[in-house]
Amino acid sequence: MTAGLLTAGLGMGTAQAEDVRIGVFVPTTGVLAPLGNDMKNGFELAARGATVKGEPVRLIIEDTAANPANGLRKAQKLVLEDQVKLLIGGASSAVTLGIGAQAARLNVPIITTNGQAVAITGDQCGKFLFRTVPHDGNSAKASAAMFSERKDMLEKKWFVVYHDFAYGLSNKAEFAKIPGINIVGEAGRPVGTADWSSAISQIQSSDADGVYIALAVGDDLTAFVNQLRGYGITFPVLTPVGIPDTMLQALGDNGVGMMAGGLTASWMQEADNPKIAQLVKDYHDAYGIVPGYQAIQAYAGLQFTLAAMEAADDLSPESLIKALETTAADTVVGTLKIRPEDHQGMQGSYVAEAVKLDEPRFGATVGWKTLSHLDWEQVNVEPAESGCKGL
C-alpha cells in the first residue's frame, strides 16, 4: 500500500498524465523508521513547487520497512504500476543492494541518498545504481584523518559493536583498515536488538577504553547508548557518520560527547551556510523539529536529481543515466556531482561532536557541532580500491 503521495506545488490529489513521477523507497515503519521518516521529510521539502521540463513533480512514497524482499516488491510496484521515471531513497544498504540486483529488469536509475555499504558503488556497481553520499570507506578515511589530528583517540583500545548485516559488516571492515587502529574486541547483533547487556558485558571484560558503533541508525542505536551509559561506561563513543537529530534529542545528556568521523551535514551549520539556515527554518515550520543529516542528504540528493532530470535530453533511462553522470548541481550541501566510473557521489564530510546547546534552538537541546571539514580528496576511495570493475 502506498505510504504517501505528494504532488509538488499542487497538493494532494489525483495524478495528472503530465506529472513527472519519482518513486521514493524509504522505511517509514520498523526499526529504521527514524531514519526513513527524516529522509521522507527531506524529499518532500525539496519537491515543493518543483518542476521538470515545465511539468510538476510528483513523489510516490513507499515504505520498505527496511526489508530487502519488501523493498524489491515496492520498487517493482513503483516502476511497473506507477510508471516512475526513477527511484530514490535507500535508507538501508541491504534494501538498495536487493533492488540494485534487479536494476536491469526495472530499467530505471536507482539513487540512494543514504545507503553506505561500499558494495553499492563497489563490487556490485552497475549502470543503473547511483549514490549521492559518501560510503563506509570514505567515512573510514574521515575517521583516519580525525585520528591523525587526535592522537589521544588513535591510542585508544576500541571495541566495535555492529549490526550483523550489510551495513554493519561493511562499516566495521572499513574501520579496521584505519592505519594504527587498535581493536580489542567486537560484538555483532541482529537488527532489532533491544537488550544490549551481553554486548556491554563483553565490553566490560575487554581492555577497551573506546566504543565504535557500526549500528544502523534506528531504535537499536539509542537503546545501546542509553544502556552503555546506564552501566556507568563513560569513555568515548564514536559513530561513523553521526545519528539523526531526533534521536540525539531522545538521548539527551547520554548523547553529549559522541563523536562522528564523517558527518555529511548538520543543521548547526546554519550560521555559516544560508541555504542550510533556510532549510532549517522551512523544515521546522513543516515538521516542528530540526532536520537530521539524513533529511539534509535527502534534500540535497533530490535537488541534484531534479537538476539532472532537467538537463537530460529526455526522461528515458539512457538519457537520465547520462545526465546523472555529467550534472554538477548547486545544492544545500554545496556542489554535488557523480563520478561516472562507479556512480559514487563526490562529497566531502565533517568531523563533529554532539554538544549541549546553551539554549534550545528550534526545539533542539543537543546538536552536531562540526569541528573540521574534510574535502573530497581527503576521503576519496578510487573505484579500484572499492571493487568496482566497470559499469
Model pLDDT, residue 17:
53
Tally Cβ neighbours within 10 Å of residue 372.
12
pTM, full prediction: 0.90
For the beta carbon of residue 55, count every other beta carbon within 10 angstroms. Answer: 13
As a whole number of Å, the end-to-end CA separation of the chain is: 33
Q: Is the dihedral of CA 193, 194, 195, 196 positive or negative?
A: positive
Where would I find the H helices in 176-244?
A: 197-205, 219-230
All domains of the chain in start order, with CATH:
4-135+273-347 (3.40.50.2300), 137-269+349-379 (3.40.50.2300)
**What pLDDT score does 3 carry?**
44
Task: Name the percent of the chain in helix, strand, coil, to the closest 5.
Answer: 40, 25, 35
On whether the CB atoms of residues 261 and 139 are closer than 8 A, the answer is yes
Type of residue at 296: I
- The C-alpha angle with vertex 184 and arms to 183 and 185, in degrees rounded to 5, equals 100
Distances (CA, A) of 355 to 252, 295, 303: 10, 20, 29
pLDDT tens for each residue of the chain, 391 residues long: 344 444 443 333 444 458 999 999 999 998 888 889 999 999 999 999 999 999 999 999 999 999 999 999 999 999 999 999 999 999 888 999 999 999 999 999 999 999 988 999 999 999 999 999 999 899 889 988 888 888 888 899 999 999 998 888 988 998 998 889 999 999 999 988 999 999 999 999 999 999 999 997 778 889 999 999 999 999 999 998 888 898 899 899 999 999 998 999 999 999 999 999 999 999 999 999 999 999 999 999 999 999 999 999 999 999 999 999 999 999 999 999 999 999 999 999 999 999 999 999 998 999 999 999 999 999 999 999 999 999 9
| Residues β-bridged to residue 249 | none
Q: What pLDDT is stored for residue 9 in this prediction?
A: 39
DSSP string, 8-26: TTT-S-PPPTT-EEEEEEE
Residue the block writes with cell 506507477? 82
